[in-house]
Structure formats: C-alpha cells, structure tokens
Structure 1
Amino acid sequence: MSAGEKAKAKTEQAQGKAKEAVGRATGDERVEAEGQATKSKGDAREAKEKTKDAFKH
C-alpha cells in the first residue's frame, strides 16, 4: 500500500467512526449514516490498496 493512500484510508475510517458515534450519541440518524458511509469508503480504499499490493508481489 502506498503510504499516502493507506493514511487516507485510515483517516476516512477514523472520521467515519467518530461521526457515527456522534450521530448515535445525539440520536441523529443522518449523521450516523454519513459516518457509516465514510467508514465504508475508507474500508473500500484500504481493500483496493491491499489488492493492488497483492498483485505487485
């Protein structure tokens, strides 16, 4: 995984988790859903990078 993409994936995952927690704590379903979406985006980015790494070696 390139370091930049890995960091971006981890950042998206952390932001998503935080936003999801805030949404859950405040009872705001929209914010919670946005957090889940952001986290999923980070998960997908990480999976893409791992797949690219697997084919490099």
Structure 2
Amino acid sequence: MAGNQKSRAKMEQAKGKAKEAAGRAVGNDRMTAEGRAAQSKGDARQAKEKGKDVFRH
C-alpha cells in the first residue's frame, strides 16, 4: 500500500507541473494556481509517506 501512495504522490506532482506549465503557456492564472496546488498536495503526500518509512525501520 505504501508503494501505491508513493506513486500517487508522484502522479499528482507530475499532473500539477503539467497543469501549471499549460496555464502559464495560455496565460490562465487560475490553471497555474491549480497546478501549484496539485504539486503541493503531491509534496505533502510524499512527505507523509517518507515519515512513515522512517518509523517502519
């Protein structure tokens, strides 16, 4: 299950990065902000999973 959450975090980060880039390309501030939010969500999920790994070992 931890691997699933880690891959989900990476996927959220990648989607956020793509959405942010697309928003910048077309000049859409809302899309850019949504992309940043998705990246932050992925970063938080990844940090949580890393924290779990520290306590497992």
| Smaller-chain TM-score bracket | over 0.9
- Deviation (angstroms), 1:41: 0.2
The two structures, once aligned, show a CA RMSD in angstroms of 1.1
Aligned to 1:27: 27
Gaps of 5+ in 2: none
Gaps of 5+ in 1: none
Which stretches of structure 1, 4 residues or longer, exceed 2 Å deviation after superposition? none
Q: TM-score, normalised by structure 2?
A: 0.96
Provide the rounded CA distance (Å) in 1 between the counterparts of 2:8 and 2:48: 12
**Does 1:51 pair with 2:51?**
yes
Equivalent residue pairs, number? 57
Identity of aligned residues (%): 63
